[in-house]
């Protein structure tokens, strides 16, 4: 009888420990009330045009980019290696960069779109909730501040130095801890700068028509990234700047944040 009680107690302690570890590794989410906004920028690059009306339902998006600590919890559980640190040859090509390693409060970098999706699947299995990457429309709406938007050029300010780690504030030396600058109107950090962030959509041209909860083009060889990074110029940290690498491609600037539908 005593042995049975001891086994139950040990199992209970282990379960509590596992739940505590999981809660520490969960991304902190921000509720975004849906609404209508003008997506794109007719004064921007060709792939930012035309400006078009988008109507979005409510959703959640992560307050921070997925951190090294959070991604490490995933890697440890599924038996996967962390992404590689920058190689000596990379530093030779980027002489301003200082040597950096995977500090826990950095955004995870050097992950592909495929890697990000696998993380979302794991997080969904662990929690029983539907985590995924934000659609490009969700990403831009959240970066703009949602219904509280003040129509800034960058996410949270017209002064990029207040909200974004980019080449002139990092001196191209490496990423910075998440959440260490000013948040945007929704309390979300680093949507301009620090890490390019993968979105769920295929990359392609915009339509001029009004769209409701758009998910992007139906097919393309490429996937969307948004927000610029610690190594890139201010122009690419604008709210509407976008790019579209191959989903298997990555480098030391590519990271992500997760989203969830209520």
| Helices vs. strands in the chain: H and E counts, helices first | 7, 11
Quickly list DSSP for 203-221. P-PPPSS-EES----S--S
16, part of any domain: no
Closest CA to 65 of 192, 172, 150: 192
13 assigned to some structural domain: no
* CA separation for the pair 222, 79 (Å, rounded): 28
Strand order across the 35-39 sheet? 35-39, 52-56, 211-212
In whole angstroms, how large is the CA radius of gyration of the chain? 19
Instruction: Give residue 2's pLDDT.
Output: 57
Whether 7 is covered by a domain: the verdict is no
**By residue range, what is the domain housing residue 72?**
29-260
For residue 82 the two structure tokens come to 């962390």
Give residue 19's pLDDT. 43
Rounded Cα–Cα distance for residues 192 and 165 (Å): 8
Query: Looking at the domain assignment, is residue 123 inside a domain?
Result: yes
Which residues does the chain have with pLDDT short of 50? 5-23
What pLDDT, on the 0 to 100 scale, is given for residue 20?
42
Residue 80 lies in a domain: yes
Convert the pLDDT of each residue in 37-88 to its tens digit.
999 999 999 999 999 999 999 999 999 999 999 999 999 999 999 998 888 8
Establish if 67 belongs to a structural domain: yes
Q: Is residue 24 part of a domain?
A: no
The helix or strand, by DSSP H or E, that contains position 170, with its residue range, turns out to be helix 167-170
Specify the number of domains making up the chain: 1
pTM: 0.90
CATH of the domain at 208: 3.90.1580.10
Residue at 201 is within a domain = yes
């Amino acid at each position: 009888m005593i042995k049975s009680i001891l086994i139950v107690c040990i199992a209970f302690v282990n379960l509590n420990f596992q739940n505590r570890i999981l809660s520490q590794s969960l991304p902190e989410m921000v509720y975004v009330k849906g609404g209508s906004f003008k997506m794109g920028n007719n004064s921007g690059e060709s792939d930012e045009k035309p400006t078009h009306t988008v109507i979005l339902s409510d959703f959640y998006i992560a307050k921070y980019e997925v951190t090294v600590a959070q991604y490490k919890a995933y890697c440890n559980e599924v038996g996967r290696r962390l992404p590689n640190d920058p190689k000596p040859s990379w530093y030779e090509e980027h002489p301003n960069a200082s040597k950096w390693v995977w500090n826990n409060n950095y955004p995870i970098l050097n992950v592909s779109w495929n890697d990000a999706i696998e993380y979302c699947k794991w997080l969904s299995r662990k929690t029983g909730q539907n985590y995924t990457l934000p659609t490009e429309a969700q990403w831009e709406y959240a970066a703009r501040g949602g219904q509280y938007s003040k129509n800034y050029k960058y996410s949270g300010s017209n002064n990029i130095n207040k909200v974004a780690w980019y080449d002139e504030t990092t001196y191209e030396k490496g990423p910075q801890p998440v959440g260490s600058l000013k948040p945007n109107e929704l309390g979300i950090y680093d949507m301009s700068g620090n890490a390019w962030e993968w979105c769920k959509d295929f990359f392609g041209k915009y339509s001029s028509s009004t769209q409701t909860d758009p998910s992007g083009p139906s097919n393309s060889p490429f996937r969307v990234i948004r927000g610029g990074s610690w190594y890139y110029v201010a122009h690419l940290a604008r709210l509407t700047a976008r790019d579209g690498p191959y989903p298997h491609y990555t480098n030391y600037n590519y990271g992500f944040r997760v989203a969830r539908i209520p």
